[in-house]
């Protein structure tokens, strides 16, 4: 797609990227386990504490890249921030939930990032060149986050009984949001992002790919996936699973999730606290 193509195609891409941006902006959510007494306090190893900070730095960088794409297509950055803070922009479902422990950090970094990268890899061949190039860089960096998450999960899965229980409970908490991440099934011929070749696969194709790759890896660690219906139908070549709670997804992405308002309020306060910096940088020079 080129910038001189029909206006509605440009609008689809901008909307898609604003939603995608919030996957990167949501990297700030990973700081929650750094709050004393929540996640990192029991962790004594400096390397374990430092990795999430590096990941947050990566995510902020991804946010800048995706913001720039949307800006180039005509939507000012301030307008995107205004929409986000006013609740007009939907951000990814997983960032509406709390993290309870270090085990949650591992599951998020491994499986949430894995589900995200499955979707992002399908965007590397986007018909819009700047988007495709950006997604190649993002996918490479996200793969490092996945390795960190798997290291955390593996360490806890073979650790003490309490650690193993914690990682199983974290998987139980996050499996529902994980299965919702790629969205409800939709007919290929009605998906405008597919029509404009912004993405290459349907929501169900992405979910099936995630299950094919990660169900065996989860089970290899001796963890139990909290879905008694989950099984591979060899005849049809697809995974069968319990239907995700789409009503919950709709509530959550319209800012009615457990942490939706707290996360938005934190962003509002942060923006207000840093207003003086933006105003100082952007101020017109005084006349001599």
| Rg, the chain, Cα only | 20
Q: What pLDDT sits at residue 25? A: 42
Please report how the helices 129-157 and 113-121 are oriented relative to each other, as an axis angle in degrees rounded to 10.
150
Higher pLDDT, 143 or 233: 233
Given the structure tokens 């194709």, which residue do they identify?
205
Query: What is the value of pTM for the model shown?
Result: 0.83
Could you tell me the pLDDT band of residue 12, with boundaries at 50, 70 and 90?
low
Is the per-residue pLDDT at 219 higher than 50? yes
Q: What is the CATH superfamily name and number for domain 7-271? A: Ferritin, core subunit, four-helix bundle (1.20.1260.10)
Residue 7 burial by CB count (10 A; 0-12/13-18/19+): exposed, middle or buried?
exposed
Q: Give me the mean pLDDT over the 195-210 stretch.
A: 90
Q: What pLDDT sits at residue 142? A: 83
Q: Which of 56-60, 81-85, 150-154 has the lowest mean pLDDT?
A: 56-60
Distances (CA, A) of 35 to 40, 100, 253: 7, 11, 25
Average pLDDT over the chain reads: 82
pLDDT tens by residue, 248-283: 999 999 999 998 898 888 888 888 998 999 889 888
Is the per-residue pLDDT at 30 higher than 90? no
Higher pLDDT, 117 or 32: 117
C-alpha to C-alpha distance for 7 and 22, rounded to whole angstroms:
23
Is the per-residue pLDDT at 124 higher than 90? no
Top-ranked range on mean pLDDT: pick from 16-25, 65-74, 184-193, 212-221? 212-221
The residue extents of the domains of the chain are: 7-271
Could you tell me the pLDDT band of residue 61, with boundaries at 50, 70 and 90?
confident
Q: Is 238 helix (H, G, I), strand (E, B) or coil?
A: strand
To which H or E segment does residue 231 belong?
A: strand 231-233
Could you tell me the pLDDT band of residue 145, with boundaries at 50, 70 and 90?
confident
Distances (CA, A) of 225 to 107, 185, 260: 12, 22, 26
Report yes or no: 25 and 91 within 8 Å, Cβ to Cβ: yes
Residue 8: half-sphere exposure toward Cβ, Cα within 13 Å: 4
Q: What pLDDT sits at residue 274? A: 87
Return the percentage of the chain with pLDDT > 70, whole number: 81
To which H or E segment does residue 78 belong?
A: helix 77-85
Task: Give buried/exposed letters for 27-37 (b at 16+ CB in 10 A, else e).
Answer: bbbbebbeeee
pLDDT tens by residue, 65-106: 888 888 887 788 888 888 888 888 877 888 889 988 889 989
Q: Is 241 helix (H, G, I), strand (E, B) or coil?
A: coil
């Amino acid at each position: 797609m080129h910038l001189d193509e029909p206006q509605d195609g440009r609008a689809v891409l901008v909307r898609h990227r604003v939603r995608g941006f919030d996957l990167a902006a949501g990297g700030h959510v990973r700081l929650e386990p750094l709050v004393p007494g929540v996640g990192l306090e029991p962790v004594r190893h400096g390397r374990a504490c430092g990795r999430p900070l590096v990941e947050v730095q990566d995510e902020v960088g991804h946010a800048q890249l995706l913001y720039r794409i949307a800006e180039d297509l005509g939507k000012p950055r301030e307008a995107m921030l205004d929409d986000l803070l006013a609740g007009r922009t939907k951000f990814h479902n997983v960032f509406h939930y709390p993290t309870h422990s270090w085990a949650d950090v591992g599951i998020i970094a491994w499986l949430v990032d894995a589900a995200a990268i499955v979707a992002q890899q399908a965007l590397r061949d986007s018909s819009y060149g700047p988007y495709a190039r950006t997604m190649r860089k993002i996918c490479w960096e996200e793969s490092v986050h996945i390795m960190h998450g798997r290291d955390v999960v593996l360490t806890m899965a073979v650790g003490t009984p309490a650690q193993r229980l914690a990682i199983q409970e974290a998987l139980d908490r996050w499996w529902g949001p994980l299965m919702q991440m790629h969205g409800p099934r939709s007919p290929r011929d009605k998906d405008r992002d597919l029509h404009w070749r912004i993405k290459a696969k349907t929501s169900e194709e992405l979910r099936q790919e995630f299950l094919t790759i990660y169900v065996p890896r989860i089970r290899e660690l001796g963890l139990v996936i909290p879905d008694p219906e989950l099984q591979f139908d060899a005849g049809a070549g697809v995974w069968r699973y319990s239907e995700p709670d789409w009503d919950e997804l709709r509530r959550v992405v319209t800012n009615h999730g457990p942490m939706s308002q707290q996360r938005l309020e934190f962003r509002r306060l942060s923006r207000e606290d840093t207003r003086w910096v933006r105003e100082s940088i952007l101020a017109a020079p005084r006349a001599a």
